[in-house]
Chain A
Amino acid sequence: MKKGKGMKFVGDSRISADKERFIPKDYSEYPGKTEAFWPNFLLKEWLVGAVFLVGFLCLAVAHPAPLEGPADPTDASYLPLPDWYFLFLYQFLKYDFVTTVYGAVIVPGIAFGALFLAPFLDRGKERRPHKRPIATSLMLLGIISVFWLTYEAAAAVDWEEKAEENKPEPTSEVEIDTEHPGYAAYENSCLSCHGGELEGTAGPSLIGIDYSAEEIEEIAIDGIGDMPPGQFDGTDEELQQLAEFIVSVNEQAED
């Protein structure tokens, strides 16, 4: 740009009236195989970006974002888990010898503090990883422990069962007929685990189950899955009424 006297401006502004012709720089004269960012290199980057985007969209279409049932603070059987990138911290805090202060403040504080201050801890001129063994080995140790802890946490969870138990279903609006002859039996034998509205607390919800009255009678006596046998305690007639009651609520929920 020209300096000093003789500069012309647009109106009373400070914008130069002399427009230089836009001539792209010629990087071919530079040492090495340097190239211009725009458009040469950006095109390559965007091609990578386009391929990445297609893959990403396939992921988003093929795997819908999970959504569980609405938050229910009384659900005592729920196993809380953080998102996967906090699993390592979650697993670390699970070990007996790790107290909250130690596991949530001191160790992560040191690790992330060291990461943040890495340029001042590793001050040598040398850049190659094998020429700065302490920094490299500490980082590798960190990565391995994070991967290991994440794996340990993830392997302990039955993800399919968890997803199955926590399907997103809008809060049911069934009305519980407490006058029903089977309700008394339900109240005595089932309510403590399956909830006052069959919504499930310690045990699963009884709404939307696919059992006949006879099968329900059997389950009430013999148990199923985690449910121990002998939960029901009463006469055969009461058992039959109980099964009818559960079936009737299910029929109502389907309408």
Chain B
Amino acid sequence: MLQKIYDWVDERVDITPLWRDIADHEVPEHVNPAHHFSAFVYCFGGLTFFVTVIQVLSGMFLTMYYVHDIENAWRSVYYLQTEVAHGQIVRGMHHWGASVVIVMLFLHTLRVFFQGAYKKPRELNWMVGVLIFFVMLGLGLTGYLLPWDNKAYFATQVTLEIAEGVPFVGEATKALLAGDPNIVGAQTLTRFFAIHVFFLPAALFALMAIHFIMIRKQGISGPL
């Protein structure tokens, strides 16, 4: 039955090459922990991706209850955490996932760095990877404000003051981020929400796609 549906679709859209291209490639011995236990260092990239998937899913579900408005943001977070079934766990996954993803990215970066895997021909992929790291830090920074608790408010105020200290463009940057030259408030929260939920994830998905395509093109770096 399933085979018949598959054949019907495949006859019309020719999907076999699409997934075979992803599924059908070789994995060399030196990255396989079954042969060399030290190859576990190659897991960090995959685990980063896995946690990113968890982040995307839990984030999508959290927006079912969250409101990005200073009057209601904290109350909606408090509500979803105390009144909604499993709200504690879903928010916990998003909160801890943010930390774990940074840890995994850090380990993955160190693995690539110390193996010199960024050398020719993989310079571009390294740079894309560093950009992904920056985007992740940006996601962490903007996500921190969203619950609108004391921690969120004061940490963001400090961040914005640091941004203001930058010569020439500082004040404009601050006004652009906060939505107002002087107030950290309603407009800051909506901006950070938009950046956290739409702009940075869009950048992240694009960069991840480039990262993966390049890995498939160039193959994994050889053994040391």
Contacts and interface: CB of A to CB of B under 8 A. Distances in A.
Q: What 4 pairs across the A-B complex have the smallest Cβ distances?
A: A80-B154, A127-B116, A100-B165, A38-B23
B187 interface: no
Interface string B126-159: 1100110010010011001001111111110111
Contact of B96 (A13, A44, A65, A67): A65
A57 interface: yes
A82 B26 contact: no
Interface string B77-94: 110010000001101111
Nearest to A14: B14
Interface string A55-97: 0110111011111111111010011111111100010010000
Interface of A: 10, 13, 15-16, 19, 22, 24-25, 27, 30, 32-38, 40-41, 44-45, 48-49, 52-53, 56-57, 59-61, 63-73, 75, 78-86, 90, 93, 100-101, 104-105, 112, 115-120, 122-129, 132, 135-136, 139, 143, 166, 168, 170
B150 A71 contact: yes
A108 to B, nearest CB: 10
B13 interface: yes
Contacts of B25: 36-37
Given A10-B11, A100-B165, A65 B154 contact: no
Given A22-B16, A85-B137, A116-B127, A49 B47 contact: yes
Majority-rule SS of B interface residues: helix
B12 A68 contact: no
Contact of A71 (B32, B81, B88, B152): B152
B224 to A, nearest CB: 6
Contact of B24 (A25, A49, A125): A25
B204 interface: no
A83 B140 contact: yes
B114 A78 contact: no
Nearest to B36: A33
B10 interface: yes
Given A84-B99, A170-B75, A35 B27 contact: yes
B29 A33 contact: yes
Contacts of B28: 32, 34
Interface core residue of B29, B81, B154 (most chain A CB under 10 Å): B154
A36 B25 CA distance: 6
Contact of A36 (B24, B116, B166): B24
Contacts of A71: 70, 74, 148-150, 152-154
B181 interface: no
Interface of B: 10-14, 16, 20, 22-30, 32-35, 43, 46-47, 50-51, 54, 70, 74-75, 77-78, 81, 88-89, 91-100, 102, 110, 113-120, 122-123, 126-127, 130-131, 134, 137, 140-141, 144, 147-155, 157-159, 162, 165-167, 184, 221, 224
A15 B13 contact: yes
Contacts of B100: 56
Contacts, number: 215
28 contacts: A19-B10, A33-B32, A34-B28, A35-B27, A36-B27, A48-B47, A56-B93, A57-B89, A59-B96, A60-B96, A63-B92, A64-B92, A67-B77, A69-B149, A71-B148, A75-B150, A79-B154, A80-B151, A86-B141, A104-B166, A118-B118, A119-B119, A122-B119, A124-B119, A125-B119, A128-B224, A166-B150, A166-B151
B27 A37 contact: yes
Contacts of A81: 151, 155
Nearest to B136: A85
Interface core residue of B113, B116, B167 (most chain A CB under 10 Å): B116
Nearest to A20: B16
Given A67-B77, A70-B74, A120-B123, 16 more contacts: A27-B26, A36-B24, A37-B24, A44-B34, A48-B46, A60-B89, A65-B91, A67-B74, A67-B78, A71-B150, A86-B137, A105-B166, A117-B127, A119-B120, A166-B149, A166-B151
Contacts of B130: 112, 115-116
